[in-house]
Amino acid sequence: MIWRCPACHRILTPQGTVLTCETCGARYSVVGGVPDFRSSEQRSADDERQVETAMSIVEGPAAGDREALIHAYFGARESQFTGGPSYTAKRIAGTLDGFEKLSREANGWLRPLAKIDGVILDVGCGLGATIAAFTELGLECIGIDNRLDLLIVTRAILQASMPAQRIPELAAADALRLPLADASLGAVIYYDVIEHLPDAVANAMSEAQRVTSPGGWLALSTPNRFSLAAEPHVGVWGVGWLPRRFQANYATTRSGVDYAGTLLMSVSEVAKVIADNTDFEMKFNAPTIPTESIQSFAPRRATLARAYNSLSRFELVRGIMLKVGPFFHGIGRRPDTSSDTSPHRPPG
């Protein structure tokens, strides 16, 4: 088992449905095959009910069918969404499309990670699209998220689409207290996650440094603070251009959606946080918008997206797009202090 005690990073011993740390005495429950490393403060008031709902989903008629499990999960949460049925349908469609999207990206900008001989951690793994993409490439990819109920369903989704002996390990955990040993990973991915770690990105990057081996990789994708497009979480224009103290109130007032806990960053802000807290040598780029995504856009938005992609072919424009495009990617390695035969050094 790769998981370690998040408090002291020592080995955990399974005892029925509990993992016990023999060093510090901490005990962590295992529910639906998923260890729960969260503190009591990180659990919501109705956490127990959410877990019961998740167990009923994975043991019900949807079992064994990835699409049915995704529909059932979001259907059970519909009352929590401000947008009602239409928003639920959007989340379902986006999740299903995400599996195809991540499969393409694992063979695209994330391709360097597919060359390593080490474990990949997906922080904020959601319903498992990134994990599925890398597992299909024959790599070992594990995931954490802060919702235990979601991970119970994610485990069932992954079970529905791959052999039992390849089911990736998942854990409910804090991105700031990773339940992993020092230098135990070949790569860490934050896919659309760091914007949900307000005031804590520096600590998250320090944790990524701690658990990644020399020569290992860091990859992230996040919306751009200074995008000329609407803020993707609330569909409101100009949020990131405001001073930080005004952003949440403005976004919530304009959209009716609670914007607390979201903090978009610019490329320069992300680059500085990583440089100040890690030794990852990063490169950033503004990707084009996938044709598959554009097909689902409204006509005006689709026209703008196609224009954006066309302009992105020019090198000078690409530099501008990195500053004001809708989102950006970052990928980089730690310096490899071992020999040239290090298992984390990609060939060539």
330 φ, ψ (degrees, to nearest 5): -135, 135
268 lies in some domain: yes
Give pLDDT, residue 31: 96
pLDDT of amino acid 299: 86
CA distances from 19 to 28, 88, 100, 139, 177 (A): 5, 35, 35, 26, 17
Q: Residue 244 domain-assigned?
A: no
Task: Please state, in angstroms and rounded to a whole number, the distance separating the CA atoms of residues 327 and 4.
Answer: 34
CATH code of the domain covering residue 144: 3.40.50.150
pLDDT band at 161 (very low <50, low <70, confident <90, very high): confident
For range 56-81, the mean pLDDT: 93
Q: What is the pLDDT of residue 169?
A: 96
pLDDT at 343 over 60: no
Q: Which amino acid is at 42?
A: Q
Q: Point out the least confidently predicted range of 47-51, 73-77, 80-84.
A: 80-84
User: Collapsing DSSP states into helix, strand and coil, what is residue 331?
Assistant: strand
Query: Is position 54 within any domain?
Result: yes
Report the domain count for the chain: 1
Residue 257 has pLDDT above 90, yes or no: no
Per-residue DSSP letters for 98-122? HHHHHHHHHTTTTGGGGG-SS-EEE
Tell me the mean pLDDT in the region 197-219. 96
Asked, for residue 245, whether it belongs to a domain, the answer is no
CA angle 217, 178, 192 (to 5 degrees): 60
Answer whether residue 190 shows pLDDT above 60.
Answer: yes
pLDDT value, residue 99? 94
Residue 52, domain member (yes or no): yes
In the numeric block, which tokens belong to residue 201? Answer: 């990105």
pLDDT for 250 beyond 90: yes
pLDDT, tens only, 94-145:
999 999 999 999 999 999 998 888 999 999 999 999 999 999 999 999 999 9
- DSSP secondary structure, 252-280, as one string: HHHHSS--TT---B-HHHHHHHHHHH---
Is the pLDDT confidence value at 227 over 70? yes
271 within some domain: yes
Residues 272-328 have pLDDT tens digits of 999 999 999 999 998 888 777 787 778 887 888 888 888 888 888 888 899 998 999
Full residue range of the structural domain in which residue 57 is found? 12-227+264-286+325-333
Q: CB–CB of 182/153 below 8 Å? A: no
Q: Kindly state whether residue 114 falls inside one of the protein's structural domains.
A: yes
Neighbours of 83 (CB within 10 A): 13
The answer as to whether 138 is a domain residue is yes
Token digits of residue 127: 């319903």
1: how many CB neighbours lie within 10 A of its CB? 10
User: Rounded to whole angstroms, what are the CA distances from 49 to 46, 77, 144, 149, 335?
Assistant: 5, 12, 20, 9, 46
